[in-house]
Chains A and B, each alone.
Chain A
Amino acid sequence: MQRIPVAERADWRETAREHGFDFHSIDNDRYWDESAYYRFTLRQVEEDLEDPTEELENLCFDVVERAVADQEVLSRLGIPTAYWDYVAQSWHNKDRNLYGRLDFSYGGTAPAKLLEYNADTPTTLYESSIFQWVWLEQAMERGLVPAGADQFNSLHERLLEALPQLGIDGALHVACAKDSQEDRGTVEYIADCARQAGLTSQLLYMDDIGVDQDGRFTDLEDRVITSLFKLYPWEWILQEEFSQHVPASGVQIIEPAWKMILSNKGLMALLWEMFEGHPNLLPCYFEGDPRASALGDDYVRKPLLSREGSNIRVVQGGQVSFENDGPYGAEGHVLQALHPLARFDGNHAMVGSWLVASQPAGMCVREDHSLVTTDDARFIPHIILD
């Protein structure tokens, strides 16, 4: 795994515009960054990332299996009591999931260590699947990267295969919160894929969803929503006014409710408890667990439900070396062994490993100047070349 500086395509902004990529810069700071790329060997991708991703997904299924049968686990994860049956039902019904992203600390030599699982509302999808792919094709054509390079990125094909398998009968409504260009771009891409997969898709905002006389959800034209892809966290849905209608509404929600067990940072503690010593896992405990003393003076404290690096505290040598503020943490925390991200030219790299329908489907690398990957991170394309 190497970080290789490279010339940018002179016309990349124009190319981004043509391809509907309108969140390549955020608040005038660059998010898409093709001034460098990461080069992996095929062995690194397949043995160090792809295979562990598939294996970890299966371990995650064991965690879900345990959680839905154990109210103490659901309680520790902060899932509201009123929805325990609903979550368990979604698992027992085998409600299909579409996609997710495992985030690893990996630098090319030691085993990749799982930091967390973005199982419920992963963004970064469009730029991984489309714009990174277009970059590689053009970069090879223009001699910016060696011809014959490849990329771990079958996201687009896998999404088009997975969408028709979700059992959607009628239209797929695709929703996100207002006011985030990045979220909007992600759901537009999902809706685009659904259309290509032969489904009827309809975009809307979560705020626009209505409830009809029978407790069914409706869109702005009063069409009953039968299948809903929502880029909106389950834990928020269950705290909001319409949550009471979810179980009886008959709506198929993607990602399904059982995925809220995996998007919770408590997953990392449960995985360690059940599979202690696994080479791709880091020691991790719920805060307050006496076993956490095994972590010593170096650990990361994460809220069970934080997003984009908010409310993360890094403790090194017993001292707080980094702390991010934010609105999360009321539901509790986990303490995870510190495994700093690999540094390349002063940048901390985090490797995201994609799953579509629970199968490994691609990779993305994000860089940040700080130890913790936040929403200031930049997306750096990658290639595979032996």
Chain B
Amino acid sequence: MATGQAGMNVARNALDLASGRPPAPAFDSRKDIPLKRSRSVALVMMGASAIALSACDEPQIDAALFDGVQQCIDNKDFSADVCESNFVAAREQHAQVAPKYRSQADCEADFGGQQCETAPYRTESGSSVFMPLMMGYMMGSMLGGRGGVASQPLYRSADDPKSFRTADNKNVGGRTGLTKVARSATARPSAKGFTVSRGGFGARARGFSAGG
């Protein structure tokens, strides 16, 4: 699996594009009337002004990682109930959010030998669909009370088996128990479908512009 994208810190990149100065005041001081134009504009992805910051610049937040319920209970930072309920919540997402493969070999190429299982789906021709085994889960630290990080399943890729990865391929490190992870890694993982067909849009474009 490829390394996840570096995080973006919008506020630190949001320079005044005209001059690099801090944004101009919202009001025209001579007339004391609001301007009809934006006070400042910024780009974070387009052009040379877009500077991707490394992941370490992204805010880190408290979370807990475990390879299973028993490890969570043995850790003693959480009650057995909390360990269990967070595991169940992650487990329920697993089949929805795990990446899907047409063959066991393709899945094992990414996740390692014996590290894949059949998904509760069938291909259009009725054969099995494969997905990686759930290897752990991430949950909130409870340091700020309930809420915060929602639990989600974790995986280990063949090329970096010491680290956990989310279903959206965000590396959250290999340290179990209480830890810190990049905020972007705690986003709810996207559902992964088993794509049965592609290319059903775009035929009408045929090289002329769709906009106007």
Q: Which residues of A contact B (CB under 8 A)?
A: 17-21, 42, 45, 118, 121-124, 126, 129-130, 133-134, 136-138, 141, 148, 150-157, 170-171, 176-180, 182-183, 186, 188-189, 191-192, 195-196, 198, 200, 205-214, 216, 218, 221-224, 226, 231-233, 236-237, 239-242, 245, 307-308, 327, 362, 375, 384
Contact = CB atoms under 8 A, between A and B. Distances in A.
Nearest to B39: A157
28 contacts: A17-B47, A19-B46, A20-B46, A20-B49, A45-B36, A123-B211, A133-B38, A133-B41, A137-B16, A148-B28, A155-B38, A157-B38, A179-B207, A183-B211, A186-B211, A205-B202, A206-B201, A206-B205, A208-B198, A209-B198, A209-B201, A213-B129, A214-B193, A216-B191, A222-B99, A222-B192, A224-B192, A242-B200
A133 B36 CA distance: 11
Contact of A212 (B8, B41, B196): B196
B19 A137 contact: yes
B25 to A, nearest CB: 13
Contacts of A138: 18-19
Given A141-B19, A200-B187, A242-B200, A222 B193 contact: yes
Interface in B8-29: 8, 10, 14, 16-19, 24, 28
A122 B46 contact: no
Nearest to B119: A213
B212 interface: yes
A200 B200 CA distance: 25
B197 interface: yes
B204 interface: yes
Which applies to chain B's interface (DSSP): helix, strand, loop or mixed?
loop
B36 A130 contact: no
A17 B48 contact: yes
Nearest to B16: A137
A50 to B, nearest CB: 8
B6 to A, nearest CB: 13
Contacts of A213: 121-124, 129, 193-194, 196
A206 B202 contact: yes
The 5 closest A-B pairs by CB, nearest first: A212-B193, A20-B47, A20-B46, A242-B200, A123-B211
A375 B190 CA distance: 38
Contact of A231 (B17, B49, B168, B210): B210
A213 B34 CA distance: 53
A155 B38 CA distance: 7
B94 to A, nearest CB: 15
B45 A195 contact: yes
A152 B37 contact: yes
Nearest to A196: B10
A150 B194 CA distance: 52
Most interface-central of B18, B192, B193, B196 (chain A CB within 10 A): B193
Contacts of B124: 213
A241 B200 contact: yes
Contacts, number: 216
Interface residues of B, number: 58
A180 B210 contact: yes
Given A207-B199, A233-B210, A218 B37 contact: no
A180 B194 contact: no
A18 B201 CA distance: 33
A222 B100 contact: yes
A192 B210 contact: no
Nearest to B199: A207
Interface string B135-147: 0000000000000
Given A17-B48, A134-B17, A154 B37 contact: yes
Given A213-B122, A216-B193, A240 B203 contact: yes
B3 interface: no
Contacts of A171: 190
Contacts of B187: 200
A115 to B, nearest CB: 12
B44 interface: yes
Contact of B46 (A42, A188, A384): A188
Contact of A177 (B10, B122, B205): B205
Nearest to A129: B41
Contacts of B122: 213
Contacts of A236: 204-205, 210
A223 B190 contact: yes
A211 B48 CA distance: 35
B162 to A, nearest CB: 24
B105 interface: no
Contacts of A211: 195-198, 200
A218 B48 contact: no
A152 B36 contact: yes
A130 B43 contact: yes
B37 A307 contact: no
A218 B188 contact: no
B202 A178 contact: yes
Given A188-B45, A232-B210, A153 B194 contact: no
B82 interface: no
A325 B52 CA distance: 45
A189 B193 CA distance: 28
A151 B193 contact: no
Contacts of B76: none
Contact of A141 (B18, B38, B47, B209): B18
